[in-house]
Amino acid sequence: MGVTMKLDKSDQLFEKARKRIPGGVNSPVRAFGAVGGHPFFVERAEGPWLYDVDGNRYLDYVCSWGPGILGHAHPQVVEAVQRACAGGLTFGAPTAGEVELAELIGACVPDVEMVRLVSSGTEAVMSAVRVARGFTGREKIIKFAGNYHGHSDGLLVKAGSGLMTQSVPDSAGVPEGYAASTLTGVYNDEASVRALFEENCGQVAAVVVEPVAANMGVVPPKPGFLEFLRCITKEQGALLLFDEVVTGFRLGLGGASAYTGVHADLYTFGKIVGGGMPLAAYGGRRDIMSCVAPLGAVYQAGTLSGNPVAVAAGIATLKILMDDPGIYERIDGRAQTLAAAFQKAGLTVNRAGSLISAFFVQDGKVENYEDACRCDRKAFAAYFNRMLERGIYVAPSPFEAMFVSDAHSDELIEETCEAVAAYFSGI
């Protein structure tokens, strides 16, 4: 497979990288393993465009896997970062910016009465799960197959084929004991969750869920599914944790709780909230968050937590979104236009707001991980490479969302639709 464009410098860099960095990349999916060929190395980015070291330009539908809702290098965000840098990169002491960002998050998502800033989504979910365990005094958690919550030990688990109750770690190096306290349900399947609660009565600390799943492609919750999770967690004395690392500030300023009307006890944010810098957050009910040290007994800390430069990027980004909520209408509309083009081409399309996925499955719906796994990976890889040749970069995996930013103009969206139509009609 592979592409026909010139990638000499990228290929040379990749060769060098592979000698020093496992797989040549600092996060596995960047290696293009699912689509053949080699990754391009980025030199710079601006608005909707990525430029590689060989001088190729790509219309970017990955947007750094979600953070880039405003497009790359938004002038106001860059300026805020530059100003912050000039004042010092890290202090390990509190700053006014952290208070401002905590207030902004709370203003957008009122359920987040208290919040802790951390440096990655992984850290946010790992910490929130610890808080849920500390608060409830219970050990087990329920997650869903195909939902990703970062790479912490206890969360790298999905269902072993067939038996939901038999948790098998997804990664080598995860102790079996960790996997054993992570129970895996089927997304959009109430019965699977009910069964897990019955078998583990009084032992479940939290249900952790992507309120709109975006890591097995986009899979929206069926009507009633999140309401059911809210109900059964309350009934069973467990907490509901919305992992909004993707959906937060993406489905709208209020994230999933505003979008769906269902309210969780704990929330995690990442990606957009850091405005392109390493920043994430977890928060929620005041009584629960009061368990966190130094107020309470759940320990969690970070040398670079609430880093002033990252906080500046987060504040600038949230302020732009709050000052111009029309952004959401625009990106949702563009995603809708793209969705229509994929539908016309015969693919199965899932969309929630500006999150969309075109699944290479012929027959019907994608409502859970098993459905998503039916996609034709070869057909996807061929499509990916042809789009890349045309200068359109979609995620190099069939299980990632397509992200639209405010920098993707209507004209660019139309051009993309034409490229999609041309590809699927064999032109």
In terms of CB distance, is 26 or 165 closer to ligand PLP?
Answer: 26
Q: Is 246 in the site for ligand PLP (CB under 6 A)?
A: yes
DSSP 206-222: EEEE-SSB-SSS-BPPP
Q: Which of 68, 150, 283, 306 binds ligand PLP (CB under 6 A)?
A: 150
- Applying CB under 6 A, does 148 fall inside the site for ligand PLP? yes
Annotated catalytic residue: which of 158, 271, 369, 393? 271
Q: How far apart are CA 32 and CA 334, in angstroms?
A: 26
The verdict on 182 binding ligand PLP (CB under 6 A) reads no
Min CB(117)–ligand PLP separation in Å: 13
The one catalytic residue among 148, 187, 267, 282? 148
> What would the two tokens of residue 287 be?
């009584």
- Check binding of 243 to ligand PLP (CB under 6 A): yes
Per CB under 6 A, which region of 6-14, 54-62, 142-150, 159-167 contacts ligand PLP? 142-150
Nearer to ligand PLP, 143 or 230 (CB): 143
Alpha-carbon span 384 to 34, nearest angstrom = 10
Q: How far is the CB of 215 from ligand PLP (least distance, A)?
A: 5
Can you say whether residue 161 is alpha, beta or left, with left for phi > 0 and alpha for psi between -120 and 50 degrees? beta
What is the distance between the alpha carbons of residues 34 and 12, in angstroms, rounded to a whole number? Answer: 21
264 lies in the site for ligand PLP, by CB under 6 A:
no
Determine the Cα angle at 134 with ends 129 and 135, to 5°.
95
d(CA 168, CA 166): 6
Nearest-angstrom CA–CA distance, 373 and 68: 27
Select 97 or 248, whichever has its Cβ closest to ligand PLP: 248
140 in active site: no
Q: How far apart are CA 11 and CA 38, in angstroms?
A: 7
**Min. distance of Cβ 187 from ligand PLP in angstroms?**
13
Are residues 313 and 275 in contact, defined by beta-carbon separation less than 8 angstroms?
A: yes
Site for ligand PLP in 273-332 (CB under 6 A): 280
* DSSP line for 184-204: EE-TT-HHHHHHHHHHTTTTE
Nearest to 69 by CA among 330, 406, 416: 406
Binding characters for ligand PLP, 101-140, by CB under 6 A (x = yes):
-------------------xxx--x---------------
Contact 18, 26 (CB under 8 A): no
| Residue 271 designated active-site | yes
Q: In what order do the strands lie in the sheet with 355-359?
A: 348-352, 355-359, 402-403
Contact 423, 240 (CB under 8 A): no
Which residue from 25, 23, 99, 75 is spatially nearest to 317, judged by alpha carbons? 75
Cα–Cα distance measured from residue 89 to residue 309, given in angstroms and rounded to the nearest whole number: 6
- The residue among 52 and 210 lying less far from ligand PLP, judged by its C-beta, is 210
| Contacting range for ligand PLP; rule: CB under 6 A; set: 147-155, 310-318, 356-364, 376-384 | 147-155
Nearer to ligand PLP, 14 or 282 (CB): 282
Q: How far apart are CA 345 and CA 238, in angstroms?
A: 44
C-beta of 83: minimal distance to ligand PLP in Å?
A: 24
User: Residues 13-32: x/- map of binding to ligand PLP (CB under 6 A)?
Assistant: --------------------
Sole binder of ligand PLP in the list 270, 275, 283, 353 (CB under 6 A): 270
Active site annotation includes 365:
no
154 is a site residue for ligand PLP (CB under 6 A):
no
Angle at 234 between CA 207 and CA 155, to 5 degrees: 10
Site size toward ligand PLP (CB under 6 A) is: 15
Instruction: Spot the catalytic one: 60, 111, 243, 265.
Output: 243
Using the minimum distance from each CB to ligand PLP, give the nearer residue, 10 or 405. Answer: 405
Contact footprint for ligand PLP (CB under 6 A) = 120-122, 125, 148-150, 210, 214-215, 243, 245-246, 270, 280
Task: Please give the positions annotated as active site.
Answer: 148, 243, 271
